[in-house]
Amino acid sequence: MYDLIIIGGGPAGLTAGVYAVRSGLDTLVLERSEIGGQIALADIVENYPGLPSISGVELMEKYRSHAQGVGVKTKITDVLSIRSEGAKKIVSTDSGELESRAIIIATGANPKHLNVPGEREYVSKGVSYCALCDGPFFRNKTVAVIGGGNSAITDALLLSRIARKVYIVHRRDRLRATKILQDRAFTTSNIEFIFNSCVTEIVGSRGEIRRVEKIILKNLKSEEISELAADGVFIYVGIHPNTEIVNVEKDQEGFIKTSPSLETSEKGIYAAGDCRDTNIWQLVAAVRDGALAAIAANEYLESLNEQIK
């Protein structure tokens, strides 16, 4: 039996692993594929303190190397479910069951995709799901923001201070964002709205340097097809947390609710990073969560040891 099993090998999970091992906990990190996380998809990371410019893959290699260097054990396996049997936690995987005294869920969340031709092909080559992460690469360029909720309008406003022109493409005839965000967007001179329209394809160059060049739009009322030149496409049609494996209290979107110490509604189970109910999905926040969850888990395990004595 392990002291702590961490599910997810992204920034939150590996940070938790480092802190847990340094606390003397017998720790295992589980990941369904090669250790990475969403940040590995980032072409360049420029907002992580101390590393002004680094690729997402390079940064994750540094995380992995650091974790392995301090003795964090990892295993590639697909986690199917988690259950508690008293103080013992059972993690069911596609390669058998594992037992632990505490668990940290750091499974992250994935942006929902449009699932149109060209989207996956041009990820990190003009297609993005985070303006805060990638907006600076589109300074004085033309971008399209897809969506009409708070995330879409918030990031469109951010992009309006960077890009020359921002188009907001929304499939409905009105926005879903809060009024204050709508008011700001409607009064921003370089933001233009395209309502009642959806993206049917993302088109780009196919040479040695592949970049987005335009999007194909369909008007949902007239069914007219049109083209819109754009250097970047920022997609905000929702985000899906990877939390189906655990039965704890969640919000209506599936994000795990946590206490200030990041404990879930189940004693001894913690959540860290993008899978939990948080107001910021950023690398630095995930790292902070990983450290806090590991410290809290260690305190929980120490309290169990005291009870045994």
Q: How far apart are CA 43 and CA 46, in angstroms?
A: 10
Of 13, 69, 295, 17, give the one whose Cα is nearest residue 2: 17
Indicate which residue of 134, 155, 231, 274 is catalytic: 134
Compute how many other C-beta atoms are within 10 angstroms of the C-beta atom of residue 69: 9
DSSP character for 283?
H
Q: What residues contact residue 214 under an 8 Å CB cut-off, 6+ apart? A: 203, 204, 227, 228, 229, 230
Indicate which residue of 133, 155, 198, 275 is catalytic: 133
Is residue 134 part of the annotated active site? The answer reads: yes
Is residue 231 part of the annotated active site? The answer reads: no
Indicate which residue of 130, 198, 231, 289 is catalytic: 130
Q: How far apart are CA 98 and CA 116, in angstroms?
A: 39
Q: What is the dihedral of CA 245, 248, 251, 255, to 10 degrees?
A: -40
Of 88, 76, 87, give the one whose Cα is nearest residue 34: 76
Active site positions, annotated: 130, 133-134
